[in-house]
Structure formats: structure tokens, C-alpha cells
A and B are shown apart, each in its own frame.
Chain A
Amino acid sequence: MAELVMAAATPHNPLLWRAMREPVPDDLVQVEVNFRRIRDAITEAGVDTLIVLGTDHVRQFFSDNSPAFIVGKAASYHGTYENEVRTFGMEYAELTGNPDLATQITGREVLPETIDFSVSHEWRLDHSFVLPLQYVRPELDLPIVPIHANSILPPLPTAARFAALGQHLRAAVESWDSDARVGLLTSGHMATDVGGPRTFNGSPDPEFDAEAVEWMRDGDLDGAIAGCRYDRIMAAGNVTYQYVNIVAALAAMQGRPADLAEATTSRFASSPFFLWRAAS
């Protein structure tokens, strides 16, 4: 059977793409170091396919048709958009899909009991999928299953549903008749505001950041779920709900304390870096 051999969470702040160039500015050195740690962990774990859990930023999924959880079943994906290349200087990416693993996650004829997934066979991936891969697997050679969890167009799934997603991903991998070594890569934000009153002005809520690191460092899944209520998260910044992706990773790793848990400070809002290696 296949194995879930690691999980990690990184930032996907697209402003990093232009800012974190050689020579890397002093305030971003630790961000680069942490990306490299996760890159190395993927290599060391011998990952040969990745589930990439991200947040489509209203690029493909708009309010006319907004799924809560959608799984990509395509054989290939184009990455990033004209406006993201224009605005952030990002680079287009070509990615290979993993339809077999996607089907294992969604079910073939009938959806799993845990999550009523939507599926997509035609999906252009935005920066929240592409940018983490460009940093932690710049070869872009691993087949991926992208999953968008809606944390941007309310009504949103609760943190408990993200946890159920994470638990389901582990169960789906472990019941997959394959010798694949699967990694889970997710991304999101610590307390962050984009386009609201606290936009681009450092962390809007350092207290949330500290708690949100502790939940992962201590392996406190119940605390994370309780702490990620909509009103609490929105008080920490209008895009902070993307932190909840990381709750799914904690659940996928059975609520174990993370091997790396850090909200890295820089000129930007703090950057999430979390890593779970396989239990030995």
C-alpha cells in the first residue's frame, strides 16, 4: 500500500518571488532557509507524488460556481495566470497530474463518506499551488493532485471539515494499492490582510500567529479547530483563513507535533513554515 511519508506547509506570498533574489536580503534569509529545509525533506523522504492543498484566489473558481473542496483529476496542468505573471513577476509552470491518486481520494463512482468533493478535469493553477512547488521542488517533476479548499469566498468549510479532509487524505493514501511514497504539501498564511484596512503593514495579529504556531508545535488539533473560528480568524486579517489549510496537514499527520513549526518574520506578514516527517 502507498504511504504518506511527509507533510509540509509553506507560505505562498507571491511578493516573495521578486523580493527573495540573490543576494537574498537579510530579512528574508530565514524564509529561504525554511523553504530549503522543506525542499530537502521532500528529497530525503523519497516522495514520488504530491498532494498539493491550496487556495485558488478567485482565479478559476468564482462566486458563480464555488466548490468547498475540489480535487484535480487532470493528467496535466498549466500553472499561474497572466495577471500573476504581470503583477508578481512569476513564471509559468507546466505540471503533471496524478489521476489515479485523485480518483483514490474522490472515489470513482461514489464519493467517500467524509467529504463531498467536487472534481475538475480542466484547471489552471494559481500562485498558491505553483509558488510553493517552485520553491520546494523547482524541478517540477513530481506528479501532483491539486486540491482547492475554499477559504476565500464565504460561506467557508469549518476548520473541523479541513481536519476531516486531512484525515481522509491519509486514509485514501494508505488504502491505495500502490507503492507510491506520497507527500502532502500545503500553503497558506499566518495573520495576513490583503486589500483591507491592515493591508501590507506587517502582521495584523501577532497573538494569533503565536497561538497558531503552538497548535502545530504541540500537536494540538482540538485547539487548532477551536481557535480557527471564522470570526476569530477574520479578526486576524482578511486572508488569514488560508491558515486552516495547515490544520488539514496536522490532521493528516494524526495530530502529531510538527518537526518544524515557525512563523518566520520578515518585511511581510509572518510566513508559515511547518514540517512533519514520517513517524519512525
Chain B
Amino acid sequence: MSRYMMNKFIRAVEMSTANVNAYVADTEGFVDGWLAGGAGPDAVADDRVLTPEEREAFVNRDYGTLYGLGAHPYLLWHFTEAVYEHEYTEGFGWRELVEQYRAAIIPYGEVDDIP
């Protein structure tokens, strides 16, 4: 597991409205584009790496699995909100998303999210 890298990806999406929109529009393409990018020749390390399981969870926008893998809860919730608010309808809004998110993560309990 690479909690640090998951959080890095989550931040890259959540902090930029352009990236939120790009991730929502073409989720798999955005994930793979992010993995292929990077800091170039002066990168301090292998700076964009996800395990296959993490990549799959981001491709599926599967916040429950990401939580279980140890994503930082504060970052993960705001990522989830940013990504899913595009899908709000008359009967499914913020409160419903909160309930759905809680139901998805409760089975994992308090997880170790310390990178």
C-alpha cells in the first residue's frame, strides 16, 4: 500500500476544479494520465506510483475501498464530495452522499491512515 501516493493523487484532483472536471469526464484516462506524468528528470523519487488495487479504486471512484486502503479521511471525504456532487439529483444530495459514504466506510472501522 502507498497511502502517501493515494493522498497525493486525491489532493491533485480535489484541489483543482479543472482536475475534478477532467477526472469526472474521463476517470480512467485521468488516472493513467496522472500516473504517466510527473516531475520530469529532476523528480526526487518515483513520484507517481499506485498499486494495481489503488489504481482500480480510483478508476471506479470507489471511496469505500480507498478508505480501507488507508486514504486520509479528511482528504478522501472532500475528494468524494467534489467528484460526486456532479451526480446530485432532486432525491440525492449532500446528506444522501454523506450517508452512502458512511455506509461504505463503516465496515472498515478506524483504519491506520498514517503514511
A153 and B75 alpha carbons, distance in the complex (Å):
11
* Residue of B7, B74, B106 touching A63 (CB-CB under 8 A): B7
- Total A-B residue pairs with C-beta atoms closer than 8 Å? 68
The residue that B73 contacts in the complex, of A62, A63, A86, A238, with Cβ under 8 A, is A238
Q: Please state if B17 and A86 are interface contacts (CB–CB under 8 Å).
A: yes
A83 with B78: CB separation less than 8 A = yes
Tally A residues with Cβ within 8 Å of B.
26
Query: Please, which residue of chain A has its CB at the minimum distance from the CB of B44?
Result: A64
Cβ of B48 to closest chain A Cβ, rounded Å: 13
A58 touching B75 in the complex, CB below 8 Å, given contacts A63-B115, A82-B15, A197-B110: yes
Of B7, B14, B77, B106, the residue contacting A83 (CB under 8 A) is B14
Q: Using A82-B16, A195-B77 as known contacts, say yes or no to A58 and B102 having CB atoms under 8 A apart.
A: no
Would you give the shortest CB distance from A42 to chain B, in whole angstroms? 29
Chain B residues near A199 (CB-CB < 8 A): 73, 77, 98, 101-102
Contacts of A234 in B (CB 8 A): 110
Contact A154 B98 (CB under 8 A): no
CB of A123 closer than 8 Å to a CB of B: no
Residue A137 at the B interface, CB < 8 A?
Answer: no
Q: List the A side residues contacting B11 at CB < 8 Å.
A: 58, 62
User: Once the chains bind, are B74 and A238 in contact (CB under 8 Å)?
Assistant: yes
For residue B36, CB closer than 8 A to chain A, the reply is no
A157 to chain B, nearest CB (A): 15
Q: Evaluate contact between A154 and B14: CB separation under 8 angstroms.
A: no
Is A194 part of the contact surface with B, judged by Cβ < 8 Å? yes
Instruction: Tell me which residues across on chain A come within 8 A of B56, comparing CB atoms.
Output: none
A238 to chain B minimum Cβ distance, whole angstroms, is 5
Report A86 CB to chain B, min CB distance, Å. 6
- A181 within 8 Å of B by Cβ? no
Which chain B residues (33-47) contact chain A, with CB distance < 8 Å? Answer: none
User: Could you tell me how many residues of chain B have their Cβ less than 8 Å away from some Cβ of chain A?
Assistant: 28
Tell me if A58 and B74 are in contact (CB < 8 A).
yes
A17 at the interface (CB under 8 A from B): no
A200 touches B98 (CB 8 A): yes
**Interchain CA distance A196-B68 in the complex, whole Å:** 11
Q: For the complex, what is the distance from the CA of A200 to the CA of B16, rounded to whole Å?
A: 24
Known: A62-B8, A63-B4, A83-B15. A195 touches B75 (CB 8 A): yes
For A82, list chain B residues within 8 Å (CB).
Answer: 15-17
**B114 within 8 A of partner (CB):** yes
A-B contact pairs, 16 of them (CB 8 A): A64-B8, A82-B16, A83-B16, A87-B82, A193-B73, A195-B74, A195-B76, A196-B73, A197-B102, A197-B106, A197-B108, A199-B102, A200-B98, A238-B74, A238-B110, A239-B74
- Which residues of A pack against B, CB within 8 Å? 57-59, 62-64, 81-83, 86-87, 152-155, 193-197, 199-201, 234, 238-239
B residues adjacent to A (C-beta < 8 A): 4, 7-8, 11, 14-17, 67, 72-78, 81-82, 98, 101-102, 105-106, 108-110, 114-115
